[in-house]
Amino acid sequence: MRRVILQSPGRISVEDQDPTGPGPGEVLIRVRCATTCGTDLKAYLRGHPQIPMPGPFGHEYSGEIASVGGDVNGFLPGDPIMGVHSAPCGVCFWCRRGQENLCIDIMKSKVLGSFAEYLLLPANIVLRNLYKKPPTISFQRAALLEPLACVADAIRRMRLRMDDSVLLVGSGAIALLFEAALRFNGVGDVTVAGRNENRLDALSDLGLNPIHVREIPGALEAKTSGRGFDVVVECAGKLDAWQQAMQSVRRGGQVVFFGGCPLGTQLDLDTGRMHYDDLTLISPFHFGTEAVRTAREWLLDERFAPVELITQEAELESAPEVFEDLRHGRAIKVAFMP
């Protein structure tokens, strides 16, 4: 089979390797769609602590069951599926406390390598976070399950009102999934702010009306009479975006630090502002099984309607060019169709 390997930051190759057959509880899937995400781009640009190099690349996927190992129930060869790349153990301290996203094994047992013709899914994922894909949704839409689960977990932790004004700092796929999820859940006043001109132009063409980050002060004045947004969600994974989020929230508001910055990054916070303005700060990471179920329900509902996130389809061999397009904002999300 062909698969994409991230050799080192900025260097990608495509290799041939025989697929490994499934063991007990495992399934081998034929990948039909594997989508890129901001974490992949960060790994390509600077490396990532959870993505070993050199190593298989990609973690968002949908496909069909190619073969099943022993003790697998509910899946047969040929079944179309949608799933995520991790699952909690269910028994550790954090799982017992309802914090499955922090499970001691969730990152150790994750599977990478969806940018390939075949992907072997371990038993814990098959048991807890793999679902059949109904014919009512495409493989491209089904592949959004993993990033949408991250968004669903964050929204579960936010205190939202239908009349909230929300600012999303960032204009990538995660920001657009947040925008769609907030609208789907009844929040109508959502502003997307970014800095990449190519991406902002593309979003304008899609009818989203984003603003440049330099326009945030004006939007804050126009939409909130200068008091600040009720909720600000940082979706860029950059220090200046974290700082912008803190500057844009109202007294008594919420800041959601969603995007991960490079390890060791330090944020200078005004403790007086945090305390006397009674700010709520959360920094959600990853997801649990409840969020995966929620995200799947949203995807199966035709009323959940994000703007067109997948701006390109590509062959595996074009992975180097794809990530250069992502680097320069010429694409939002790319679907490899092996």
pTM of the model as a whole:
0.96
Q: Is the pLDDT of residue 183 over 90?
A: yes
Are the C-beta atoms of residues 19 and 338 closer than 8 Å to each other?
no
Reference 315, options 290, 289, 337; nearest CA is 337
In the CATH hierarchy, which fold is given to the domain comprising 2-144+309-336? Answer: Quinone Oxidoreductase; Chain A, domain 1 (3.90.180)
The predicted pLDDT at position 329 comes to 86
Strands, E assignment, 9-104: 11-16, 27-35, 55-56, 62-68, 80-83
User: Phi then psi for 144, rounded to 5 degrees?
Assistant: -80, 0
What percentage of the chain carries pLDDT values higher than 70?
A: 100
The tens digit of pLDDT for each residue in 60-75 reads: 999 999 999 999 999 9
User: Phi then psi for 83, rounded to 5 degrees?
Assistant: -160, -175
Average pLDDT, integer, range 205-212: 90
The predicted pLDDT at position 93 comes to 98
* 263 class by beta-carbon count within 10 Å (0-12 exposed, 13-18 middle, 19+ buried): exposed
The predicted pLDDT at position 205 comes to 87
Chain Cα centroid distance, residue 105: 20
The predicted pLDDT at position 334 comes to 97
Average pLDDT, integer, range 79-93: 97
pLDDT tier for residue 215 given thresholds of 50, 70 and 90 = very high
Cβ neighbours around 73 below 10 Å, total: 8
State the chain's mean pLDDT as an integer.
95
Q: Which CATH architecture has domain 151-282?
A: 3-Layer(aba) Sandwich (3.40)
pLDDT tier for residue 227 given thresholds of 50, 70 and 90 = very high
The tens digit of pLDDT for each residue in 235-287 reads: 999 999 999 999 999 999 999 999 999 889 999 999 999 999 999 999 999 99
pLDDT tier for residue 164 given thresholds of 50, 70 and 90 = very high
Domain spans of the chain, in order of start? 2-144+309-336, 151-282
The Cα angle at residue 273 between residues 272 and 275, in degrees rounded to 5 = 65
Average pLDDT, integer, range 222-242: 96
What percentage of the chain carries pLDDT values higher than 90?
A: 91
The tens digit of pLDDT for each residue in 282-337 reads: 999 999 999 999 999 999 999 999 999 999 999 999 999 999 999 988 899 999 99
User: Cα-Cα-Cα-Cα dihedral of 313, 233, 240, 229, to 10°?
Assistant: 130
